[in-house]
Structure 1
Amino acid sequence: MGQLTLYLLWSCLATAPSASPVTHSKAGIFHGRYLPGFDQDVYLGIKYAPKPVRFSSAILTKNAPETNFNVTQYGVDCMGYGSDENILVAGGWTELGEDCLHLNIVKPRTDLSGLPVLLWIYGGGWQQGATSDPRYNMSYIVRQSAAINKPVIGVSVNYRMAAFGFLNSIQVATNGTQNIGLLDQRLALQWVNKHISSFGGNPSKVTIWGESAGAYSVGDHINAYGGNNDGLFRAAIMESGGAVGAPLNGTDWYQRMYDNLTASVGCADAEETLECLRSVPYETIAPYGYQGLEWFHTLDGRFIREWGQTSLTTGAFAKMPIILGTNTDEGFGVDGVNTDTDAIKQLMYSKRWNLNEMEARRLLELYPNNPALGEPYGWGNRTWPQYGLQYKRFCSIATDLAMFAPRRLLAEEMSKYEPVYSYRWDAPKFNNTPTTIGINHFSEIPFVFGNTEQQITPLGNGTENLGLSTLVMRMWVSFAYDLDPNGHGVSGIASWPQYRQNSSNFVFRTDESYIEVDDDRAEGVAYINSLVR
């Protein structure tokens, strides 16, 4: 076989539909993977930052235009636990977990350039999560974008979590390294801004998208630096979270957690406790660094300069079109609330609320102990005394504090400047059973990712579930594509109005979705939104 024949054969194989994709950029030469079942090119585990110094801000990966990178597998999860086959260390913790700042790119195989970008930030209480989680597989939603001729590029990012991303104390504040998990996300956005055009994306058409702690992160990026987003994104989607809600506790709150961590790993008596924590082997510190769902974002005077309510009511946020919403029964209550005294104690001293006694008592007045009015909603007078005699009452208060009231405040304030599309999710996450109460937190995730194959939160193959999943995925990509969720191409669906037109929500249901006026619990929500938390 002659050289010309070999060359022609190689050329045909290299350009065949099944050929592995290669992208040349200033960041390097990336060798990805082709997914024939989706007709997509994927680039997995792209490092946007080298391994950072523990409890320090990361730096952007240096350009390496001539360096080849194999990006066909997900990178290491930031949890750094040895159960993953890539980091198997006898089932224990591995320091590879600190070298986890990767992002993934999923794109339809198309010759088009300038595609909008839909960038996912996972939730998990800033405590857990990973882009490799099959529940967050972006291939399904990217496939829907191609199906309605509005192709988008999907991007998902890893970031440091728990103590490794959100440590705070007097020592940390002095060092200026609070909120480094959020700064990791910001660095990933900067990488996308610099390099996504090489993959066919448009850096001026990025929509950031998250759920729960991911949605709070999106809200933080909207409020960050007084509302200066440096052109890193033009729109946002926030599911069950936003720019207000999770406590922005100061160093006093976190000092106890910091002191417990130093004591647990033998650094309490060190002259420089932060430096001591940096020198402790990862497998020693990791089990303590991931304990408890208490690692929240914090006021740092730089990235997060002020309370979320202050940012919103003074206009100190980045103005842009947004989609945001909550699930009917988010379920952010506390078990064991039996009396008014129990409720007041939780509202005053819980890590989530931190209200004073006057505020707590006023909330009890606004949310009477009437089971018919409580959450989960729509269950009448049914109660669950095993969870507390005031379970439904406290769930209503807690959910409105954490989710529902902040969602309304953001919709009201943002809609003064830009289009806002607000929703309420009213479909169970899968095959509701007597042990699953209401439409709770995370219920929408199987639908918006549409993964019918994975088993953790299965969507199933029922016609109604699949139909709703198709609708919400197409709404999300339509919004990312042209900033309007109504270009989804599904017939028989009510038009989703902008919030400023009539203060309404689009209600997602498996039987028939509809539009409702956004006036539930108006007095209680208004009072919550008058508080600075």
Structure 2
Amino acid sequence: MARKIISVVALCCYLAKAVDTLVDVSYTKYQGTSFPNGISQWLGIRYAAPPVGNLRFAAPQDPLSNSSIQLANEHGLVCLGTGGSPTDSTTSEDCLFLDIYAPTNATSWSKLPVYFFIQGGGFNTNSNANYNGTGLIKASEMNIVVVNFSYRVGPYGFLASEEVLAGGSINNGLKDQRKALQWVHKYISRFGGNPQHVVLGGNSAGAASVTLHLAAYGGRDDHLFHATAAESQSFGPVLTVEESQYQYNNLVIRTGCVDEVDTLSCLRNLSAESLQANNCNTPSPGAQATPLYMYGPVIDYDFIQDYTYRSFERGRYLKLPAIYGDDTNEGTVFTPKSTSTIGQSSTFLQAQFPALTLTHLRTINTIYPLAEQYPSSGLYWRQLSNAYGEMRYVCPGIYLSNIYARDGVHANWNYRWNVIDPPSNASGYGVTHTVEVGAIWGPENINGGAPASYSTTNAAIVPVVQAYWTSFVRCFDPNRFRLGGTPEWEEWTVDGYQRLMFQTNETGMERVEGGQRTRCGYLSGIGVEIGQ
């Protein structure tokens, strides 16, 4: 009997040939590329039909069949962003593409863990496009598959109104993400990946997307992902369809479609260049200035059924292993460095969160007093950036970790990224929003976006965070395959408020200090009131 078992195993190993770079995905075949480093890649795979013509403002549809072999050796074009040039040749409305990176020796039997990454950009741009998964795969000892992709943003992904609800679809950017997850579930095994072991990751708006997928359809489990890793989870204001109507009306007026009876049809018939020429932000009703990001996820009582804070408070989310975390100075890259008065500070905050009341602002200005000063900056710049950074990013992450601990999710980790980059630190920007993405992917893999120090004085932090991250992807635990000599990343508890503080040569556990806990208690307490 033993001999028979051995022979069967040997036969299975013999039959399990490495995945061919020519992969059949039912509707077409994609020819990828293998490289001497032992990694293969397939770039520019269509995961949905081009969202153009009548599919503009519609839910994503299946890709069209094509009997020809498709060369998968170039990235697809990036989705059109709000404020982007109408003639930018690097962007397009036809943008629903994904990239796959896998070990060349992966087989259909490999069932490698999958890291599915949602890029950020405030739901108005694709700001982390075309990252190369090579660094993560090498860090995993060739034991994972990496997927990234583009999704519709701005009005293309998030236009909402009575007209769109009746003749199109709401939250199409999120539905694009869901469509890509469904594609992975169906096809990733053909690239060596395991559809039953998918870690959903993302940064900024991508991390906000992670939380929205966790709470999607009231927390319904479609078995599309099995753990999550969110970097700078963003809780922006979420409007209803009715509250979003002004965005649609303004776009109709700007494009000249106001004279048409069927305004939605008129918007669909515009060229992408014409629509893009009018794709800009306008102030929210009651606000005095334009927000950083106007278009975004909308409560449609289907995909998004409630505010994010309330969905998690009520336990209506998937209780999966999770990492949440933030950077020390989340707000500095967003707030005007010229902010010189408390009035300018409050105006900026109210432009981002129009539901803020005078009482809210008065309290915020009390708990965020005048802060440290830097050359060539306004008196209230750091006061404002401290408030905005914690309101939108840091406090939601702490809140989510607390909810997981409350609900008994015993695979729940939190971090603070505090890797000091000397030029950024000297300028006052400090440890900026999602800067850790350059270390997680490897500074050479994110198209020049990482600080120079990540390849010099801070190079030592790269293998540290990559080991924790890929360990989590491999086994839903950041500790099992962590780098030798690095500390155990302790799970978060409500009593302990403990998180891992990443800092070059000083990474270790810390407790959230009392002042931040108090501030976050207030900000999370008004989260539903201000639409988060």
**Which TM bucket (shorter chain)?**
0.7 to 0.9
CA pair 353-142 structure 1, distance change in 2 beyond 3 A:
farther
CA pair 157-62 structure 1, distance change in 2 beyond 3 A:
same
Corresponding residue of 1:406: 396
1:350 and 2:351 matched: yes
CA pair 279-198 structure 1, distance change in 2 beyond 3 A:
same
1:503 and 2:500 matched: no
1:215 and 2:207 matched: yes
Query: Which residue of 367, 380, 383 corresponds with 1:393?
Result: 383
Query: Which residue of 461, 469, 481 corresponds with 1:488?
Result: 481
Could you tell me which runs of 5 or more consecutive residues in structure 1 were left unpaired when the two chains were aligned: 1-14, 84-89, 372-381
Identity over aligned pairs, percent: 29
Name the SS for the 1:119 alignment partner: strand
1:54 and 2:53 matched: no
Corresponding residue of 1:313: 313
User: What do residues 253-277 of structure 1 show as CA deviations (whole Å, max 9, x unaligned)?
Assistant: 5333322322222212211111100
User: What do residues 118-173 of structure 1 show as CA deviations (whole Å, max 9, x unaligned)?
Assistant: 0111111122226654xx221111121126xxx11000111011111111233223
Corresponding residue of 1:377: none
User: What do residues 271-301 of structure 1 show as CA deviations (whole Å, max 9, x unaligned)?
Assistant: 1111100001111111322556322212111
Alignment of 1:191-270 (within 5 A): 191-242=183-234, 245-251=235-241, 253-270=243-260
CA apart distance, 1:208 = 0.9
Q: Is the 8 A contact 1:127 1:290 kept in 2?
A: no
User: What do residues 445-486 of structure 1 show as CA deviations (whole Å, max 9, x unaligned)?
Assistant: 211110337434354574552221111112111101101111
CA apart distance, 1:524 = 1.5
Query: Which residue of 258, 269, 273 corresponds with 2:263?
Result: 273
- Structure 2 CA distance for aligned equivalents of residues 214 and 71 of structure 1: 24
Query: Which residue of 402, 408, 427 corresponds with 1:417?
Result: 408
- Structure 2 CA distance for aligned equivalents of residues 138 and 115 of structure 1: 14
In structure 2, give the amino acid aligned to 1:351. Answer: Q
In structure 2, give the amino acid aligned to 1:69. Answer: Q
In structure 2, give the amino acid aligned to 1:478. Answer: S
Could you tell me which runs of 5 or more consecutive residues in structure 2 were left unpaired when the two chains were aligned: 1-15, 282-291
Paired residue total:
490
- Structure 2 CA distance for aligned equivalents of residues 460 and 530 of structure 1: 38
1:477 and 2:474 matched: no
- Structure 2 CA distance for aligned equivalents of residues 96 and 455 of structure 1: 19
CA pair 44-80 structure 1, distance change in 2 beyond 3 A:
farther
CA pair 33-194 structure 1, distance change in 2 beyond 3 A:
same
1:172 and 2:164 matched: yes
1:143 and 2:138 matched: yes
Q: Is the 8 A contact 1:166 1:297 kept in 2?
A: yes
Of stretches 278-287 and 21-30 in structure 1, the one that deviates more from structure 2 is: 21-30
Q: Is the 8 A contact 2:80 2:91 kept in 1?
A: no
CA apart distance, 1:196 = 0.9
1:98 and 2:98 matched: no
- Structure 1 CA distance for aligned equivalents of residues 347 and 86 of structure 2: 40
User: What do residues 389-440 of structure 1 show as CA deviations (whole Å, max 9, x unaligned)?
Assistant: 2222222221111011111110011233321110000014675363352111
Corresponding residue of 1:374: none
Q: Is the 8 A contact 1:116 1:202 kept in 2?
A: yes
Corresponding residue of 2:5: none
- Structure 1 CA distance for aligned equivalents of residues 267 and 90 of structure 2: 14
- Structure 1 CA distance for aligned equivalents of residues 428 and 450 of structure 2: 13
In structure 2, give the amino acid aligned to 1:266. Answer: G
Q: Is the 8 A contact 2:182 2:224 kept in 1?
A: yes
Name the SS for the 1:105 alignment partner: strand
- Structure 1 CA distance for aligned equivalents of residues 186 and 244 of structure 2: 35
- Structure 2 CA distance for aligned equivalents of residues 346 and 283 of structure 1: 30
Corresponding residue of 1:79: 80
User: What do residues 171-202 of structure 1 show as CA deviations (whole Å, max 9, x unaligned)?
Assistant: 22344522101100000000111111111111
Alignment of 1:261-340 (within 5 A): 261-289=251-279, 293-331=293-331, 332-335=334-337, 337-340=339-342
1:122 and 2:119 matched: yes
- Structure 2 CA distance for aligned equivalents of residues 143 and 474 of structure 1: 10
CA apart distance, 1:353 = 5.4
CA pair 278-95 structure 1, distance change in 2 beyond 3 A:
farther
In structure 2, give the amino acid aligned to 1:505. Answer: R
- Structure 2 CA distance for aligned equivalents of residues 205 and 172 of structure 1: 35
- Structure 1 CA distance for aligned equivalents of residues 364 and 295 of structure 2: 26
Q: Is the 8 A contact 1:93 1:283 kept in 2?
A: no
Q: Is the 8 A contact 2:330 2:389 kept in 1?
A: yes
User: What do residues 328-366 of structure 1 show as CA deviations (whole Å, max 9, x unaligned)?
Assistant: 00114455554444444444x313352122222222233
In structure 1, give the amino acid aligned to 2:147. Answer: V
Q: Is the 8 A contact 1:421 1:498 kept in 2?
A: yes
Corresponding residue of 1:467: 460
CA pair 259-192 structure 1, distance change in 2 beyond 3 A:
same
- Structure 1 CA distance for aligned equivalents of residues 523 and 100 of structure 2: 39
Q: Is the 8 A contact 1:238 1:325 kept in 2?
A: yes
- Structure 2 CA distance for aligned equivalents of residues 323 and 481 of structure 1: 14
Q: Is the 8 A contact 1:338 1:390 kept in 2?
A: yes
1:190 and 2:182 matched: yes
- Structure 2 CA distance for aligned equivalents of residues 187 and 60 of structure 1: 8
Q: Is the 8 A contact 1:153 1:201 kept in 2?
A: yes
- Structure 2 CA distance for aligned equivalents of residues 94 and 464 of structure 1: 36
Q: Is the 8 A contact 2:374 2:427 kept in 1?
A: no
1:450 and 2:450 matched: no
- Structure 1 CA distance for aligned equivalents of residues 442 and 428 of structure 2: 21
In structure 1, give the amino acid aligned to 2:141. Answer: A
Name the SS for the 2:443 alignment partner: coil
Name the SS for the 1:452 alignment partner: helix
Q: Is the 8 A contact 1:447 1:465 kept in 2?
A: no
User: What do residues 98-124 of structure 1 show as CA deviations (whole Å, max 9, x unaligned)?
Assistant: 221111110012245111100111111
Corresponding residue of 1:9: none
CA apart distance, 1:326 = 0.6
- Structure 1 CA distance for aligned equivalents of residues 416 and 425 of structure 2: 21
Corresponding residue of 2:38: 39
In structure 2, give the amino acid aligned to 1:50. Answer: A
Of stretches 156-165 and 288-297 in structure 1, the one that deviates more from structure 2 is: 288-297
- Structure 2 CA distance for aligned equivalents of residues 108 and 264 of structure 1: 49
- Please give the TM-score of this superposition, normalised by the length of structure 1: 0.85
In structure 1, give the amino acid aligned to 2:308. Answer: G
